[in-house]
Amino acid sequence: MYDPKSSDLGLYIHIPFCLKKCGYCSFVSYEKCDHLYDGYVDALIKEIRKADTGNRKVKTVYFGGGTPSLLRPQHIYKIMDTIYDKCDVAGDGEITMEANPGTVDHVKLRDFRECSINRLSLGIQSTDDDDLRYLERIHDRATALQTIKDASKVFDNVSCDLIYGLPQRSIDTWEKVLREVSSMDIEHISMYALTLEDDTPLGKKIAEGKAAPLSEDQEADEYELIDKIRIPFEQYEISNWSKRGYESKHNVNYWERGDYLGFGVAAHSCMGRVRSANTSDITKYLDSLKKGDSPEEFREELDDEKILGETVMLALRMAKGVSINDIKTIFNVEFEDKYKNEIRDLAELGLIERTEIGYKLTKKGRLLGNQVFVRFIE
């Protein structure tokens, strides 16, 4: 029987606005909607005030998007003021904002810092101009580098996002990007493989033969290069590297299947057994809160089997892997008995290995993670 731990809370705030939607992006976001900013922030504040936090301490707040840095500092101040008024926010809480080059300068970054933001996640994606044009980013190399420098002068905790597996990019270009960004004054790097949904502009171009297709071999080569050149960061999750003590607390809460509440259009929440999501339609979202209704459009209660599988899958994303004792404590399940066939098969394939506490992905397993995860969440 699943026995959920009474954990601290994470809060996620979705800001769905962009100057221009990138060709690879499938997230819920809207272009050139600055006329909606004030009303959207007011709706967010109403939703936050109505939330049931169970008087639990809030350890992390994360502004994601979209491009949260399009909002004015006054908007962020109003949202954070509401959170501090509504919730018991930890004194050492991690409060992250995503920001894109081309939407901030030193002054705006300083103003965001004064609104309680203490961690900045920059959507750099690359420092190569050809890469940035391919990805249809609004910034160029010079702007990316200047934004990193500006951010590091204002924030003590800066993260950069990079994308690997771009078709026809040379491995030398990827190595140059890796070495350049990892040598800068930042504390964290997230690196994600380029993945495309069929309905994205870039996905359609590839389907129509107007752009080069993605290559699994290139993706693997670029991922392996991260290990080979030994960047000065420790890998703590499949897609995340940090200097010691600078792991993303908000995301670690996700991977440890902690509780979190999401606010805003398309935001998701997970509280114990219950998972829910808000409408992805911004008009419906605004109208529902104007009427005093809930913007929630999806809710499900998970059974023990599904929660166990999710917990194992998420733990295996982490470098430390899954703990046998944790599974026993939370679910009263003997991990090696429950999954003896999966463990045998995956170990024979060289995808997982035994550790002092349980099991973790091998180097090969990190490359083929989805082949491992599906065995626990079928």
- Which pLDDT score is estimated for 5? 60
Say what percent of the chain tops pLDDT 90: 86
List, edge to edge, every strand of the sheet that includes 57-65.
Answer: 234-237, 240-242, 188-193, 158-164, 119-125, 88-99, 57-65, 9-15, 260-263, 268-271, 274-278, 296-301
In a shared domain, residues 221 and 370: no
Say what percent of the chain tops pLDDT 70: 98
In a shared domain, residues 219 and 367: no
- Which pLDDT score is estimated for 3? 61
Query: Residue 332 maps to which CATH number?
Result: 1.10.10.920
Q: How many folded domains does the chain comprise?
A: 2
pLDDT, one tens digit per residue, over 235-263 is: 999 999 999 999 999 999 999 999 999 99
The residue among 255, 278, 295 that closes a domain is: 255
Query: Residue 146 maps to which CATH number?
Result: 3.20.20.70
Q: Of 125, 176, 151, whose CA–CA distance to 22 is shortest?
A: 125
From residue 371, how far is each of 106, 195, 294, 363, 365 by CA, in Å?
44, 16, 38, 13, 8
Does 265 map to a domain?
Answer: no
pLDDT, one tens digit per residue, over 17-36 is: 998 888 777 777 888 889 99
How confident is the prediction for the chain on average, in pLDDT?
Answer: 94
pLDDT at 149 > cutoff 80: yes
Does 248 map to a domain?
Answer: yes
- Which pLDDT score is estimated for 197? 80
**Mean pLDDT throughout 147-157?**
98
In a shared domain, residues 320 and 210: no
**Chain centroid to CA 298: how far?**
21
In a shared domain, residues 77 and 138: yes
In a shared domain, residues 153 and 60: yes
Classify strands 322-323 and 158-164 as parallel, antiparallel or unpaired. unpaired
Cα atoms found within 13 Å of the Cα of residue 95, Cβ hemisphere only: 21
Residue numbers of the domain that contains 158: 9-255
The residue among 231, 255, 279 that closes a domain is: 255
pLDDT at 100 > cutoff 90: yes
Does 287 map to a domain?
Answer: no
From residue 274, how far is each of 2, 4, 85, 257, 304 by CA, in Å?
13, 11, 25, 12, 12
- Kindly provide the residue ranges of all beta strands, DSSP E only, lying in 43-176, ordered along the sequence: 57-65, 88-99, 119-125, 158-164
In a shared domain, residues 138 and 229: yes
Cα atoms found within 13 Å of the Cα of residue 54, Cβ hemisphere only: 12
In a shared domain, residues 213 and 316: no
- Model pTM above 0.85: yes
